[in-house]
Structures are given as structure tokens and as C-alpha cells.
Structure 1
């Protein structure tokens, strides 16, 4: 069986979890806190980052969320993650890179530092100026999602794709950490509610990070 090394608030692991579930691939979660630097984990991924997807019986170790998702799309025909012609697939990959890159650097990454790592590792309070800047940048990203949802059925086009799963993974972590203000973003919120209602998404909403509690609306799908 596949083993996914991850922790609950890793957005890249969430993207892989959604891909695995949508593809109908059975897996089990191995909880890994990469900041602990365990030797056994570093032997799997010397970069010390999650996710890592491992199949011990087949001696396969896959690293990097995008590489893992593209492997799954190649290996499992069901529910294509990057559907369509070459132009449509390029657009999906562009959006995945935007959320895994820009959104993570602007929003998810700083929130994880300020509201998770400082609390768990450094035992320090978050920086209020950083959090205000995160909220400002998150609003800009939500405005772009508003536009995307208003101009097409799904973020990447007419069919649900890895672009939706990547975006929802990052947004769900930011929402868990209180970094999303949905006011004025009805289009983005409506899309996200649809994503939250998918069976593949429900296990993410039910899982909590020890000592860090999400806002009351986090797991609500209506």
C-alpha cells in the first residue's frame, strides 16, 4: 500500500491526498513533522520536506507534490487531473504553479510560520504586521479566483482539475489558520464550498493539528 508522509496543515500534502482520493488510490498516512528532522525521513527525502509518497513493496519513493500528482495522472486513468488538449493542460499547470508558488509565498507559507511553527517550535507569538500583510495579499488572490470562477466553470476551464485541488488545498490551510476573509468574495466562496463538499475533501476538514484549532466555519460546507 502507498504511504503518504505528511502533516495535517501541509498544503502540498493536501493536494496529493485529494489527487489520491479522486483517483481511487488506497493509501495510509504516516504523520511526519519535517521540522523535527528525523533521520528516517531524511533518508527518504534529504530536502526534509513533505509530501513523500512511498510504496515499500514496490520500492518506489516519490517526492514533490507536482511530480507525485503527474505520476498518478500517468499511472491511473480514472478522473484525469490535467484533462484537455495541450493548451488547456498548459493553463491548468500555470494555475497550479501560481498557487503552489505565489499563493504559498504570499499567504500559506507566512501563515504556517506565524501561526503554526512559532507556536509549536519557537513558542513565540505571531507578528501582527506580517498577518495584516498576509490578509491583504490573500484578498488579492481571492479577487483573481472571483474572476476565474465568473469566467469559467472551474478554475482551469470547463472541467475540474488539479488547478482546483491545488488552490483548495492552500486556501483550506489558510482558512484553518484564520487567514482568509471571505467578505466580498462570493464567487470564490461558492467555488470553495463546492470543493469542500466533495467526498475527497471531507477527511481534510475532519483532521486537526494538535494545539491549533480552526475557526467555527472551517468545516462547514453550506
Structure 2
């Protein structure tokens, strides 16, 4: 789906990966910029969904050793669960190497009606910009006014097709890096990684079927 119409192409390139993400019982397509260096460093390590561990990691400076003795017993136990690509421990010190693997840019709710679409968009308001895409232009002009008031993008289109923009979304202005935003980035990254693995496996299976058919 070409989302370049929602915001300037320098903010949202047209080929951003996207995945369907469920949050608080509501689903939206989340477009994200992959932090390539971090993804390569993880080398398929996936995402971190351990809230307690992420909380400890946020307290550690990136790339700098911290004496493990200054951590609480609960923090040390959480750190014990960290994969090797996230934290290294030696000589009584711990060094955090991991950081957020993606930057969520836009959550798009495809909805038949504006009100439920807006409710879904609001669920993602603390982590990225939001937009609602309807199958046809709303008959009520107040919908566009309300979208502009809330800073939520409004478009018309279908999943997988072009979107005509009526109201562009406001850029996301996160004041600080929070635990919730890091967890969400990890969740999106895990979903994108699983989606990529499934696509690779499906392609491999298709190639193998083709080879078998050629032998018959």
C-alpha cells in the first residue's frame, strides 16, 4: 500500500515495511522504519517482550559498563534473562548493547466507519502518528474537521491499494523515550521478523514444489 500521500516522502518513504499489530483489543497496520544497524547486530535475535527486563535495560547506559552490585536483586534476576546480543556480563559488570530495533511511524486503521476507526487510532496515539482510512469519502463534512482537530489522518482507499488523502496526520511528537514505546517497538519488530520469516519459508516451499514438478 502506498502511504506516501499521508505525509511528505522525506518523513514516510513509500516502501516502509508494515505489519498488522493488535493493541488493547484493536488492530491497525503499523508502518515502521527499521534501524538497520541494530537489526544486523541482532542477527535474527528477534524482539524483547519482557517488560521487566526492558525496564532494567532502560536504566543502563548504552555501551558503558555498570557494576551489577548496584542493581537490586529483582533487576539482577531480570538481567539474567537477557540474551547475549542484548547484554554482556563479565567481571561483575554489565554492558547494554541493544536499543530499539524499529521506529514506528504511522498506525493506520482501516475502518468502514469513522467513529470506530478513530477509537482504534487513539489506542496508538502514545507511540506513533495515526490515520484512519475509510472505503469511501464520508458524507459528513464534520468528519474531516474532527480528524484535523485530533491530528489524525483521514484517507479514502482499500487495504493494498492507493489512498487518497483528505486530512494528513500530524507528525508524532514523543517527548521522551519511554518503556511503553520501547516495548511497542520490540513488539512491532518481532511481528515484522515473523512476517519476513514466513515469506521466506513460503518462497522456499514454492521453489521446492517447482523443482519437484519439473522432475515428474
| TM-score, length basis structure 2 | 0.23
Larger radius of gyration: 2
- Which protein has the bigger helix share? 1
| TM-score, length basis structure 1 | 0.22
- Which protein has the bigger strand share? 2
